[in-house]
Chains A and B, each alone.
Chain A
Amino acid sequence: MKFTSKVTLPCTARLGVLSEIERLPNLSYQTPLLLIYTKRGCIPHLCKDVFKMLSPEKCFLLASLPSTLLMAEYIKEFNHFSEYVSMEEYPLFLTIQDPAECTKSGFHKHDSISVWSRNGRLSINPDRYMNVVEIFKPDMYVSLCDGDTDKNSSQKRINKAIEKSKNFFDKCMQRHVESNVLKNKGFLAPIEGGYNLQAREKCIKYMKDKPILGYIIDGLHKNGIDTQNIYFDEIKHVIQHSLNLLPGNKLRIMLGCWNPSAVLDLINLGVDVFDSTYPFMMTEEKKALLFSCTSCTHQEQQFVNLSFKKYRDNFTPICKSCHCATCKNYTKAYIHHLIQVKELLAQVLLMIHNVHHYIEFFKTVRIHIKDGTFQEYKNKIQSKYSMQM
């Protein structure tokens, strides 16, 4: 896989292209790119035909180990993960922890990390991990790493996370280049180090000259919905420092449930890839996204919570200028009713709208970067956030 980017100044919003995907050579992706979150191979609440209706484009999917690891023994009988879950037309990125689930801390051993499946804790060392990667054959994946750090982590924990991740990286890298099925897949290194600048620097020094596609800036949060509460100002210095040290021609990924305002700031610093955990989490909270709409009367709102009783007789769509199947066909009153009576269609309709809204958001971001109007766009969207923060 190949990433090309017009390198401008460090720490500025940038456009790039991901291409030469070995399994799907006709596809290419512009960055800033949105990866579509999946769990157990499903886009939550959406079966494949509904997802195809939502997005005719072949989105880049994201899968993680906690919900998929135990499938490996069955996937072995198939060509790869994507075929097993019947999403073979879509490229796949495999990551370690599930960005939508709060990762349980602790249970550390020097040669492995813990992944929590539905059946409990699983210990993963680099060999076991690479065996799974060889079965899954993702189009892009990250070396096994220890990202169990956040704002509150001790220096000792951060050092351990870096040492383990470096050690794992060497082992995974070696298996990567020796594997015929993997050597042409996109391989990424983790950048760990919590909120500690020296630690980040140490990790980057180790990783920066490796022959890889790019980096995941990891170890800033422990996944789950709480990530949306992280203010950009808290992480700005860490990200800025890291991006300044990283080579400009490599891909930079940041996973997790970042709120859209933080995403805009991160794009502004030159982060290339994000995932759709946020619209999924909003769906679980019965919220419909409005933040990127700039043409309707709800201009100042980030979202509406459709479980509120005031929507019971509101016979207008979530957003009049939205072109998704939910807004074209259904009203807030209907979705409110479905939430009240706990019908599964509520989540289906919210997910269609929220994921569509987020895909459109990324499209708009790319257009504004291309047109040189990104700062104005960013300010306009972020004004909706500053009002409430």
Chain B
Amino acid sequence: MADNLNKFSFTFNISVQCPITKARTGYIQVVHYDVETPVFMPVGTQGSLKGLLPQQLEQLGCQIILGNTYHLGNRPGSEILDKAGGLHKFMNWNRALLTDSGGFQMVSLLKLAKITEEGVEFSSPFDGSKCLLTPERSIQIQNSIGADIIMQLDDVVHSLTEKPRVEEAMYRTTRWLDRCLIAHTKPNTQSIFPIVQGGLDPILRTESVEQLKQRKVNGYAIGGLSGGESKEDFWKMVHLTTDILPKDKPRYLMGVGIAVDLVVCTALGVDMYDCVFPSRTARFGCALIHTGQLNLKQSRYSTDKRPIDETCTCTTCKTYNRSYIHQIVTVETTACHILTVHNIAFQMRLMKEIRQSITEQRYPKYVQDYMLKVYPNKDYPKWIVNALRAVNIILL
């Protein structure tokens, strides 16, 4: 028992570092699972992932999923989660979990949220009463949820905000990190990741990293991106941040999950990703394929006898044809389930290919081939060409 309690809750091992790009593959060992990186984490906002059973998620190869603290804190609430013994037990998920801090939802969902030094003030969407999410309260809820990796509460600002506010948010984020680390009651089983802020300003980003590096943490999240900035600004910020973050800790790029972004950002040295996109787009009847997505509601699929993707081995592609999916899409809940299965399988297969090609030391070639498959006419977006050139990949 004593051994178990003292077991270090977090280790990160890099097995192979790409000699040409910044890509690396390895694994993160947390209490519930050994997660292979680079990894994509599907989002299961409220303790379930769009109608899929945890068993189906395991079969799909999901190693870690994300829960939203804001939602889980409201319902079922920390009292129930404590009684249940945490979210793992509550939802019967035996692999790794990560929770966000709740801050992002607060700012994006609640237009009236007001940020002070104390925390995020907002009116409850249920009864309109004034609530305050402090760094301490966020960690308290995340301790009840019990995810393997938890996020500090950060001062979220839109990526296109004016500099003085970005600067304030960056410094405040560091101060809030310190409050989170103090409030954290389960450091043996849960690891807090701080969040790098600083908007699109290289000096502020660098300063943010420098401050966070002085704290004892197991990994870092890159925040404040993927919020409407240009792709050129986006990749430059990722590139800069991974350059200065410690090499021996995992880097988690928040809110990124489109296939080409995953391929590029892995080359820039990112290890973890999350995005609602694959499951959200399934709900609207869209299936992911290498060149984008199929909107199965379109009438052209009504007579299409093929599976979504002939090369895909998921149960959806092995079972259903496009014509039938067209008939049930957005009408039967089953259609949402089978598209989610496919879209998660798509993300998992991509990440597996990425890990394998890094392991076999052929990642640059993989990236070249991948981009050619997506852009067969070689009309590569400029930001992809530039980002990859920065890590020594010249597209074919």
Q: Are A39 and B80 in contact (CB under 8 A)?
A: no
The reply to whether B334 and A45 form a contact with Cβ atoms under 8 Å apart is yes
Once the chains bind, are B84 and A315 in contact (CB under 8 Å)? yes
B83, A315: Cβ atoms closer than 8 Å = yes
Cβ of A47 under 8 Å from chain B: yes
CB of B161 within 8 A of chain A? no
User: Are B328 and A40 in contact, CB atoms less than 8 angstroms apart?
Assistant: yes
Q: Which B residues lie within 8 Å of A85 (CB)?
A: 324
Complex-state Cα separation, A42 to B319, whole angstroms: 13
**B333 and A40 contacting across the interface, CB-CB below 8 Å:** no
Interface size on B, residues (CB 8 A): 41
Whether a CB of chain B sits under 8 angstroms from the CB of A64 is no
B324 touches A334 (CB 8 A): no
Q: Which of A44, A341, A345 contacts B332 (CB 8 A)?
A: A44
Which one of A46, A47, A86, A337 lies within 8 Å of B80 (CB-CB)?
A337
Asked if A338 is an interface residue, CB under 8 A from chain B, the answer is: yes
Cβ-defined contact, A345 with B53, below 8 A: yes
Residues of chain A within 8 A of B328, CB atoms compared: 40-42
**Are the C-beta atoms of B334 and A44 separated by less than 8 Å?**
yes
| A343 contacts chain B at the CB level, 8 A cutoff | yes
- Asked, given contacts A78-B305, A334-B91, whether A48 binds B319 with beta carbons under 8 Å apart, the answer is yes
Task: Tell me if A80 is interfacial: C-beta within 8 Å of chain B.
Answer: no
Assess the A343–B51 pair: CB atoms within 8 A.
Answer: yes
Within 8 Å of chain A (Cβ to Cβ): is B52?
Answer: yes
From B48, B302, B321, B334, A47 is in contact (CB under 8 Å) with: B334
Does B338 count as interface, using CB distance less than 8 angstroms?
Answer: yes
Residues A347 and B333 in contact in the complex (CB < 8 Å), given A312-B76, A341-B71 = yes
B318-377 contacts to A (CB < 8 Å): 319-321, 323-324, 327-328, 331-338, 341
Distance between Cα atoms of A265 and B91 in the complex (Å)? 40
In the complex, per-residue mask of B71-115: 1 if CB is within 8 Å of any chain A CB, else 0: 100011000100110000011100000000000000000000000
Interface 9-mer from A192-200, A269-277, A325-333:
A325-333
CB distance from A344 to the nearest CB of B (A): 3
- In the complex, chain A residues whose CB is within 8 Å of the CB of B305: 77-78
Asked whether any CB of chain A lies closer than 8 Å to the CB of B47, the reply is: yes
The contact of A49 among B56, B84, B91, by CB within 8 Å, is: B56
Closest to B319 in A: A86
For B50, the closest partner residue in chain A by CB is A344
How near does chain A come to B44, taking the closest CB pair, in angstroms? 9
Any A CB within 8 A of the CB of B230: no
**B333 and A50 contact, CB distance less than 8 A:** no
A101 → B minimal CB distance (Å) = 14
The CA of A43 and the CA of B52, in the complex, are separated in Å by 15
Q: Contact check, A40 vs B327: say whether CB atoms are below 8 A apart.
A: yes
Q: A48 contacts which chain B residues (CB < 8 A)?
A: 315, 319-320
Q: Which residues of A contact B335 (CB under 8 A)?
A: 42
Q: Which of A40, A74, A345 contacts B331 (CB 8 A)?
A: A40
Does B124 have its Cβ within 8 Å of any Cβ on chain A?
Answer: no
Cα–Cα, bound, A338→B319 (Å): 28
By the criterion CB–CB under 8 Å, are A77 and B303 in contact? Answer: yes
State whether A337 and B336 are in contact (beta carbons under 8 Å apart), knowing that A343-B48, A344-B50, A348-B51 are contacts in the complex. no
Interface residues on A, range: 35 or more
Residues from chain B with a CB closer than 8 A to the CB of A313 are: 80, 83
* Distance, CA A41 to CA B321, complexed state (A): 13
Residues A45 and B46 in contact, CB atoms below 8 Å apart: no
Instruction: Given the known inter-chain contacts A337-B47, A341-B46, please indicate yes or no for A330 contacting B337, CB distance below 8 A.
Output: no
- In the docked arrangement, what's the CA distance between A329 and B91, Å? 9
Do A312 and B334 contact each other (CB < 8 Å), given the known contacts A74-B323, A334-B47, A337-B75?
Answer: no
CB contacts (< 8 Å) of A45 on chain B: these are 51, 333-334, 337
A118 and B331 in contact (CB under 8 A), knowing A41-B324, A47-B337, A344-B337? yes
Q: Residue-by-residue, is B220-236 near A (CB-CB < 8 Å gives 1, otherwise 0)?
A: 00000000000000000
Q: Are A333 and B76 in contact (CB under 8 A)?
A: yes
**In the complex, A39→B335 CA distance in Å?**
12
Assess whether A84 is interfacial by the CB under 8 Å rule: yes
User: A77-B305, A78-B305, A313-B80 known; A344 and B336 CB under 8 Å?
Assistant: yes
* A17 interface hit (Cβ, 8 Å): no
- Docked Cα-Cα span, A45 to B332, in Å, equals 7
In the bound complex, do residue A334 and residue B90 qualify as a contact, i.e. CB atoms below 8 Å apart? yes
Residue of B nearest to A53 (CB): B55
> Does B319 lie within 8 Å of A39, measured CB to CB?
no
State in angstroms the CA–CA spacing of A315 and B92 once bound together.
Answer: 12
| A42 engages B334 (CB within 8 Å) | yes
Q: Mark B297-327, 1 if CB is under 8 A from A, else 0.
A: 0000011010000000001100111011001
Looking at the assembled complex, report how far the CB atom of A288 sits from the nearest CB atom of chain B, in whole angstroms: 16
Cβ of B337 and Cβ of A84 under 8 Å apart?
no
Q: Does A8 contact B (CB under 8 A)?
A: no
User: B52: which A residues are within 8 A, CB to CB?
Assistant: 345
Shortest CB-to-CB span from A351 to chain B, Å, is 10
Whether A46 lies near B90 (C-beta < 8 A) is no
The interface residues of chain B lying within 8 Å CB-to-CB of A341 are 46-47, 71, 75
**Residues 50-74 (chain A) with a chain B CB within 8 angstroms:** 50, 53, 71, 74
Name B90's closest neighbour in chain A (CB-CB). Answer: A334
Q: Chain A's nearest CB lies how many Å from the CB of B281?
A: 16
Distance in Å: Cβ of A249 to nearest Cβ of chain B:
38
Looking at the assembled complex, report how far the CB atom of A18 sits from the nearest CB atom of chain B, in whole angstroms.
Answer: 26
Least CB distance from A343 to B in Å reads: 5
Closest CB in chain B relative to A348 CB, distance in Å:
5
Contacts A49-B56, A74-B302, A74-B303 given; does A86 touch B76 at CB 8 Å: no
Q: Are A50 and B48 in contact (CB under 8 A)?
A: no
Q: Is A364 an interface residue (CB 8 A)?
A: no
Q: How far is the CB of B244 from chain A (nearest CB, A)?
A: 40
Residue of A nearest to B316 (CB): A47
- Cα A367 to Cα B332 in complex, Å, equals 35
CA of A237 to CA of B319, assembled, Å: 47
A123 on the interface (CB 8 Å rule)? no
Chain A residues near B56 (CB-CB < 8 A):
49-50
What A residues does B327 contact at CB under 8 A?
Answer: 40-41, 71, 74
Cα–Cα, bound, A71→B329 (Å): 13
A75 to B83, CA, bound (A): 51
The answer, yes or no, to whether A299 is at the interface (CB within 8 Å) is: no
16 A-B contacts (beta carbon < 8 Å): A42-B332, A44-B333, A44-B334, A45-B333, A46-B334, A47-B316, A47-B337, A48-B315, A50-B337, A77-B303, A77-B305, A85-B324, A86-B321, A331-B84, A344-B50, A345-B53
Interface residues, chain A, CB within 8 Å of chain B? 39-50, 53, 71, 74, 77-78, 84-86, 118, 312-313, 315, 325, 329-331, 333-334, 337-338, 340-341, 343-345, 347-349
Q: Give the 6 A-B CB pairs with smallest separation, nearest first.
A: A344-B51, A345-B48, A42-B334, A341-B46, A337-B76, A343-B48
Knowing that A331-B90, A348-B337 are A-B contacts, what are 17 other residue pairs whose CB atoms are under 8 Å apart, sorted by A's residue number? A41-B324, A43-B334, A45-B51, A45-B334, A47-B334, A84-B324, A118-B331, A313-B83, A315-B83, A333-B76, A334-B90, A334-B92, A341-B47, A345-B49, A345-B53, A347-B51, A348-B53
